[in-house]
Amino acid sequence: MDTRTAVATIAALLLSTLAACGNDGPDKTTILPLRTTSPAPMPSPVHDFEDCQALLDRAYQADDVRDVSGEPECEALTAAEYREAVAAVLTEHKDEILAYEPTHTDKAVWDVAWEAIGPAQRKRICREIEATGAEAVGVDLADGSAGRGENEGIAQAEYYENEKC
């Protein structure tokens, strides 16, 4: 036997002896393959309609109304489901959306407008409010003013009724 064969035989015997006498743990002689792929991604949380609706509601409450269809909570919804979630949030808040509370600035602007018209026009507005009601006059005020909602016009007419007429 030549030297190389003897060394190889001794090494093989030594390794097999170590493997047989080793602890109960994993075999130290086993060579693990190198990982060639990245670890599996963590599964993303599963979101549903209620999660998307909750996100939309939080955005509404924070006065951060925007399209959140690309957010994780909403991205699994179809376009129809997303529209349904938006409609549900708007329906939940419809009373506060429709309620219009005039600000001090609104009242100051309305006072300036009132003072800018002549006494005959003021009397006509007061007679119209008395005859048809503040709501009807408010709708007319809103129709004649670009960018104003009906509720703002009604609030203005009610203000005139209570404060000016």
Each residue's pLDDT tens digit, 47-98: 899 999 999 999 988 888 889 999 999 999 999 999 999 999 999 988 777 7
Tell me if 23 is assigned to some domain: no
Tell me if 133 is assigned to some domain: yes
Q: Are residues 122 and 77 in the same domain?
A: no
Domains contained in the chain, number = 2
7-25 per-residue burial string, b: 16 or more CB within 10 A, e: under 16: eeeeeeeeeeeeeeeeeee
Tell me if 80 is assigned to some domain: yes
Cα–Cα dist 72/87, whole Å: 19
Each residue's pLDDT tens digit, 88-105: 999 998 877 777 678 888
- Tokens matching residue 65: 């109304």
Cα–Cα dist 161/126, whole Å: 7
Last residue of a domain, one of 65, 98, 131: 98
Does the pTM surpass 0.85? The reply is no
Q: Are residues 140 and 114 in the same domain?
A: yes
- Cβ atoms 51, 73 nearer than 8 A: yes
- Domain enclosing residue 109, as ranges: 104-164
Last residue of a domain, one of 82, 98, 114: 98
